[in-house]
Amino acid sequence: MLTALLIAPFALALAGYAFTAWKARAIEREFPNIGELIEVGGLRMNSVFVPAGEKADLPPIVFIHGASGNLRDQMHAFRSKLEGRADLLFIDRPGHGYSERGGPENAWPDGQAHAIARLMEKRGIDRAIIVGHSFGGAIAASFALEHPEKTAGLLFLAPATHPWPGGVDWYYDLARMPVLGWLFAHVAVMPAGLPRIETGTRAIFAPNPRPDDYITATAPALVLRPATFRNNATDVANLLDYVQRVQPRYGDIHTPTVIVTGDTDGVVYEEIHSRGLARDIAGSELVWIHNLGHKPDYVVTDLAIEALEKIAGEKRDLQESARRAEARLAKDHSE
């Protein structure tokens, strides 16, 4: 009896490990790399580069995905509507998607910003509008601070950029631990996480509907692979300390900036992050939209593109566009 009790947890862990290894390979077969790996000094970064057409009317644009994401997320939202208008660069952040992690500096937003700058150089992009969604907002702000000469403008979409009360969910701290974190990521995360992808992605969009093809188009399951999950957990767990140190420098950012946020964001505190950016970056424009959740890149894509146009120097009334978006969202909510 005692022997059986001792063996049972080991057998369960072994089964979880085997399932995780098998399922990680299956996920990669279902969602293979669609980008190109390029050496950027210490790591190979993965990206999809979409060159501008002959009638390009916008500067190059670099898209930085948020936590738990990969390049497919922003690409699915923006590529079809912007293709031909600008050089578009969609990236897997270091340690995410199919990018390698590189050194310990890439566990912090400024390290990832430096890697993105090197990738831009390899792709022949001198300056670009930097688009950061959620966690990507912290990297976009760091990019502007560390590489102002490469920053043609900033578009923040539901960003995470400022110190917030509390910490992060327990599993982020657990996953980044040296031994227990490895065991957790290789045994428990995959079987526990797969059933939650459906409800989790809908929660990220709430109160707005999630596109029906979102899971198959953006491959959120890639984050459940052990190494990627631990990288993601480390990024998230490090963010609070990082923004506490860097937020006082945001006043040094001097580039055209637009912040698009919703007042029903269930993932980040829009009152803290978005209003904080609008306060800290002189001349920035805050576009505040009622009934919008954490995914303005999908829910108000056309408004985000208008913001890119305004950053590039075109005349656009983003506040009026926000009111039209609100009317549409209110109608959708009532139906």
Q: Check residues 167 and 11 and name the one with the higher pLDDT.
A: 167
Query: For 317-334, how does the pLDDT look when each residue is reduced to its tens digit (9 = 90+)?
Result: 999 999 999 999 988 776
Query: For 167-192, how does the pLDDT look when each residue is reduced to its tens digit (9 = 90+)?
Result: 899 999 999 999 999 999 999 999 99
Q: Distance of alpha carbon 319 from its chain centroid, rounded?
A: 25
Distance separating alpha carbons of residues 171 and 219, to the nearest angstrom: 21
Render 36-49 in DSSP notation, one character per residue.
EEEE-SSSEEEEEE
pTM of the predicted model, to two decimals? 0.96
Task: Report percent pLDDT > 70 for the chain.
Answer: 96
When pLDDT is averaged across residues 67-93 and rounded to a whole number, the result is 98
What CATH architecture applies to the domain 35-168+238-334?
Answer: 3-Layer(aba) Sandwich (3.40)
Tell me how far CA of residue 221 lies from CA of 97, 177, 196, 200, in angstroms. Answer: 10, 22, 10, 11
CB atoms within 10 A of CB 79: 15
Distance separating alpha carbons of residues 233 and 169, to the nearest angstrom: 10
Query: For 222-255, how does the pLDDT look when each residue is reduced to its tens digit (9 = 90+)?
Result: 999 999 999 999 999 999 999 999 999 999 999 9
Give, in degrees to the nearest 5, the angle at Cα 178 between 174 and 119. 90
Tell me how far CA of residue 304 lies from CA of 73, 133, 197, 280, 326, in angstroms. Answer: 15, 11, 26, 21, 14
Q: Where are the domains of the chain?
A: 35-168+238-334
